[in-house]
Structure 1
Amino acid sequence: MIHAQQLAKVINGVYIGKNDITIDGVASLNRADKRKVSFLSNKKYTKYISNTKACCIIVDQTFDIGPYKDKNFIVCKDAYLGFALALTYFYQRDLKSSFKSSKATIDNTAKISDKAYIGDFSYIGSNANIGNSYIMPMVYIGEDSIIKDNCIIYPNVTIREKVEIGNNVIIHSGSVIGSDGFGYVNNNGKHYKIPQVGKVIIEDDVEIGSNVSIDRATLDETIIRKGSKIDNLVQIAHNVEIGENSILVSQCGISGSTRIGNNVILAGQVGVAGHLGIADNTVITAKSGVGTNIKSGGIYSGIPVYDHSKWLKSSAIIPRLPELYKKIQELESRLKELEKDDRH
C-alpha cells in the first residue's frame, strides 16, 4: 500500500488530485477498483476514463485532464514508462538467494557465488562460474560457462559449454544458448559436419524469450550486445552479431555471419540472409526478407526489402493488378484496331 503522492515520486510524475488516496496495485481502466492505479498511453482508450473506478490514472503531459474534475491523476513525461515503473514497484519478484539445492548436480570445479540460487535438478558443469544469479530448477549449464550477477535463468534453459553471460540477463524457458551452428561441407554427396568450437557472448541487460536458439560460432563468437531484447521463437545462427539496444520480434531468423547494428528493430517473421550487414537505426517490417546489405538506417519492407514508402505505394497497386491488366488488354485491343484502320 502506498499513498498516491509517494507513488508519483517513485514513477517520476506529479500527482494531481485528492489527499489521502492509497494504492495497492495496478489494473486496466475498465477493471480497476478503488484501490488500483491505472494508466492511459493509447488515446483510443480515453473513452474508459469517465467510468473507471481506478483511484488514480497515470497519463502523459499532453493529456488534457481538465474535463475530468472527479478523477485523480499522476502526470508523467511518458505514461507507458510510468505504468512500467508502477508495475515494477508493486509486483517485482522477491527472488530467494543463498540456496543450493541438494537435488542439483554441481561439478566440484564449478565456482558458485554464496548468494546464488541453484534450483532443484539443475546441472552445472566443470569450471562453470555462477555469480549472484537465480538459476531455476532443471537448467543445464555446460562446462566453462560464465553467468555474472543479477541474472534470471528460467526452467528448462540449456546453456552449453563456453557461453559467457553478463549482468542483469533474463533467459526464458526452453531457450538453447550455444547450440551447434548449422555448418556442413558436401563430400562425395554426403554432408560432413563442420565442428563448431566457438562461443556465445551475451552482454549486460539482454532479455531472451522462450524457445530461442542462439548458435555458437564456428571459431570465434556469436555476440548479443548489451540492452538488446529477443522475443520468443527467434533463430540466431553462428557468428552473428546483434548490436546494442536492438529488438528482434518473434519468429525472426538470422543466417550465419550477419552483423546487425545498434537500435535495429526486426519485426515478426523477418528473415535475414547470411554474411550481410544491417546499419544502425534500421527498422525492417514484418514478414520481410533481407537479401542484401542495408547501408543506411531507415524503414524497409518487402521481399527483398526496399524503401518502406515505396513499398506502401506498391502494396496499394497490387490488389488492382487484375483490373489494370484487363485495362491493358483492352487498350492493346483498341490499339490493334486503330492500326488496322490506319492501314486501310
Structure 2
Amino acid sequence: MKMANTLLYKVHVENKGWGAWVQEGRLAGTVGQGLRIEAIRIQGVKCYRVHVENIGWMDWVKEDEIAGTVGLGLRIEAIEIECENLNYQVHVQNVGWLDFARNGEMAGTTGGGLRIEAIRLLKSDEPISVDDHRSTFVIAPAPVPVPDPTPMASVQGKKSGKIYLAVGHGVSSDGSWDSGCVDGQYTEADLMLGIGKVAAARLRDIGFTVLTDADTDNDKNIAVCVNEANSWGADIYVSLHCDYNQAPSGTLPIVYPGSGDGIRIANCLIASAQVRLGLGTRGVIQRDDWEVADTGMAACIFETGGVRQDIGLLTNASAFGEVVAQGIYDWF
C-alpha cells in the first residue's frame, strides 16, 4: 500500500509480527506489554536507520524498506530518521516516552540494552517538546463497549459552544499535498474536506462557533490544528478521517485512554451514523494519538469508515456532514 505524500509507518513486534500501517501522530507498537520492536517500515521520509541488539547501527534504508531484522528475535534500541520537519518519539523499556527527536537526531538509547516498544511520528515547522507532560501518556484500557443507538430526532433548538473541526491530511508542513488514504480516484483528504464543509455550515446554522481548516481547503497539518484549538480554547475537538482501502466497513472513533468526554463524543458520532446512514461501527479505540493526547479539551478522531468499503456513504458529503454535525450537537 502506497499513499502519495503521506507519512505512514508500521512496525514488526515481538510475538505479534507486522502491525497495520498507521498515520502521522499515531502510535505504532505497544505500551505496557513488554514487547520489543524488531523492524520498521516508513513511507514519506528520505531515509532511516536503526541500532539493533548484537549488531549496532545498521545501514541506512530508503522509504518503505525494512530497517531492523525479522525472525532473529533482536530488539531495536535506537532510530535515526532523515526527513525535513519530522519529529519522532519512542517509548523505551524502563524509561517510558522520551522527548521528540528531529531531522536525523537519535531517538532511543545505545549501550543500555533497552528495547524500543513504541514509536510515533509527527511533522511540524517547529520542534516539539513534551517534557512538561510526559506523564499524560498512559496505557490504553480495554475497548469500550458501544451501546445500541437510541433513535433521535434531527436537530431541535439552538445551542452554543466553540468547536474545532479538523479535516484529515491536506497541506503538510512542507507545503506538499498529503492525500491520506487513496483508493482509485478517491482520497481521504478530498472526501473529508467535503464532509467537513457541510458539517461546519450546519453547526454554524445551529448556533455554534466553528474554527476549521475546511474553510481554507484543508491547509493545516495536525500540529497546527492542535495548537490552534488549544490557543482558541475550544470546547471540543473533532478530527475527520477515513480508514485505508483494506479496512472493513464501519466507523472507528479514537479517544484518549480513560477520557469520559471523549468516549461520549465517540458514542454520539457512532449513534448518529448508525441511525441516519445505517453505518455500523468497529468500536471505540482508546489510544494516546497526538490529536487526542495533546488537545486541552474533549477530543475525538472520527474514522468515518473505510475508503473502499464505505465509499458510497463517504461520497455523500451532504448526508455524512449532517451525521457529524448531529453527533457533535448531541454531545453538547
TM range (shorter): under 0.3
TM-score (structure 1 length as normaliser): 0.20
TM-score (structure 2 length as normaliser): 0.21
Higher relative contact order (CA 8 A, sep 6+): 2
Greater C-alpha Rg:
1
